[in-house]
A = this chain, B = another copy of it.
Amino acid sequence: MLTRVGVKMIILKIGGSIITEKDSKEPKVDYKNLNRICNEIKESFSTENINADLMDGLVIVHGAGSFGHPPASEYKIGQPFPNEEFPEKRIGFAKTQSAVKELNTYVCNALIEHGLPAVSMQVSSFVTTSDKRIYDFDLEFIKNYLNNGFIPVLYGDPVLDEKYKMAILSGDQILQYIARFLVSDRVVLGTDVDGVYDKNPKTHDDAKLIEEVSSIEEIIQVESTTNIDVTGGMVGKVNELLSLAEIGVDSEIINANRPGAIGDALQNKKVKGTKITKK
């Protein structure tokens, strides 16, 4: 069983833009970042003790990056469609599922090569949504893996949806759901920016980092939603995290491109970023 330094259970989200070359035409893993992050995770844990009685451990959720976004966008998965387009949509669903699964294999292999017992969980095998929100998600299997000392690795995936027939279930929504119902102690989101800004930091030199966010109104008007993706970008992310803060689970958005940031956050050290918390 993993014994963590100072905390009980952490959920770590690794953004797709961190572990893939998001602007690459072909799906491409960013192995430099991926291996560095695996090292930081490895160094934050001791895997020597075995204690299968405690629910104590790490869950990793990763995004889709240059693997999932191109087919999901091309086939407009999650948008309404007439019935005659169903055959084509099915192929789009299948292609998207296969692409994100491929990325997940690379992520799990990298974790395993670093000695971490990463076990993949494919949400499209056991989760459905209704109006794009999780409707049916049996957490017993994640708990079972955690209780046996594994690190479950989940990822954004296309799923069947009651209203839209199919939808993209984002890593952020998965994270929010797991953190809520497994009552996570801490939630860390590694993104490609330092956190939430008052302006778009990629286009404004005077953009200021917002160290704490307690309501969506604080950020909805600002231009900081640069990393817009098919799963909703920063506003979507913060919305998921605010719903967690409501029930007392705080989270922090940090820059996973900074060497050491994820390691420090896992070890509960102070890291530059935005904390999402209830006032």
Contact = CB atoms under 8 A, between A and B. Distances in A.
B149 A87 contact: yes
A111 to B, nearest CB: 8
A90 B141 CA distance: 16
Interface in A116-168: 117-126, 128, 138, 141, 144-145, 148-150, 160, 165
B145 A119 contact: no
A108 B101 CA distance: 11
A149 B90 contact: yes
B128 A141 contact: yes
Determine the interface band of chain A, counting residues with CB < 8 A from chain B: 35 or more
**Chain A interface main SS type:** helix
Copies of this protein, total: 2
B148 A128 contact: no
Interface string A197-208: 000000000000
Nearest to A121: B125
Interface string A68-108: 00000000000000011011001101110110011011001
Contacts of A52: 86
Most B CB within 10 A of own CB, among A47, A83, A124: A124
